[in-house]
Amino acid sequence: MRTFNLLLTAFLLSLFVQSALSQCAPGQFDNNGTCEACPADTYSTTNDSLQCDDCTNCNNCDPTNGNCTACNPGNQPSGQNCQACPTNTFSPNGNSSCTTCPGCQTCNPISGSCLTCPAGTDLQNNGSCVACPSGQYSPGGNVTCQVCTNCQACAATTGICSSCMAGYELNNGSCVACPPNEYSLNGNTTCMTCTGCTACVASTGACTACSAG
């Protein structure tokens, strides 16, 4: 009886050792008693898996947990899924987190080229946004910079005048023509009465008609 117990113990111990040695780890599967690595774009999360599962919505994933490691361009890994880049971010290869598009209001999620621009900037042919030149403005979006009406200087984001061209004066953010017999020089905000004239050039004050006598 003692010999039988020893033989049984030895047999069970050998089975345990064999099982421990043949146990397949996460990222592997049991192929008829042989542990093999999961094929590309598949995974297993438990020991002794009999098969590997397909990665979900990924181009590639971690073979031990299924978390995405590669996505389509314009997307970023998010656990076992790929997530589209948020507005104004991009990912050219899908292998990392989306990054903010530089200087854009919105951009192409793959290339990062600007599609629309912030107020005060202008969309260029190369997909970048540049500041409007002096005396021009843009409300943003895909609107190109426009010349401020009758202004010498204006707010780049709204077009509201801060100073006027010669012959105009500032009125609630707009430049309006000087009344008869008044003038303003370039950059002034108010019109002045022409001196000794009954009529004058609105942009210089030079008389075109004089008072009697």
Q: Is the pLDDT of residue 12 over 70?
A: no
8 A C-beta contact, residue 149 and residue 137: no
Measured CA angle at 113 (ends 160, 105), to 5 deg: 35
Q: Is the pLDDT of residue 212 over 90?
A: no
- pLDDT for res 159: 92
- pLDDT for res 95: 78
Condensed to tens digits (0 to 9), the pLDDT of residues 16-47 reads 434 444 589 999 999 998 999 999 889 999 89
Which tokens go with 121? 């900037």
Q: How many CA atoms lie within 13 A of 133 on its CB side?
A: 4
Condensed to tens digits (0 to 9), the pLDDT of residues 50-102 reads 999 988 778 788 999 988 888 889 999 888 788 999 999 999 988 788 999 99
8 A C-beta contact, residue 199 and residue 178: no
CA 45 to chain centroid? 35
CB environment 120-156: b (16+ within 10 A), e (fewer): bbbbeeeebbeebeeebbbeeeeeebeebebbbebeb
CA distances to 99, 114, 160, 204 from 175, rounded to whole Å, are 43, 33, 9, 16
Condensed to tens digits (0 to 9), the pLDDT of residues 104-134 reads 999 999 999 999 999 999 999 999 999 999 8
Condensed to tens digits (0 to 9), the pLDDT of residues 199-210 reads 889 888 898 888
- pLDDT for res 56: 75
pTM summary value = 0.62
Q: Is 17 helix (H, G, I), strand (E, B) or coil?
A: helix
- pLDDT for res 5: 52
SS3 sequence of 102-146: CCCCEECCCCCCEEEECCCEEECCCCCEEECCCCEECCCECCCCE
Condensed to tens digits (0 to 9), the pLDDT of residues 183-196 reads 998 877 899 998 88
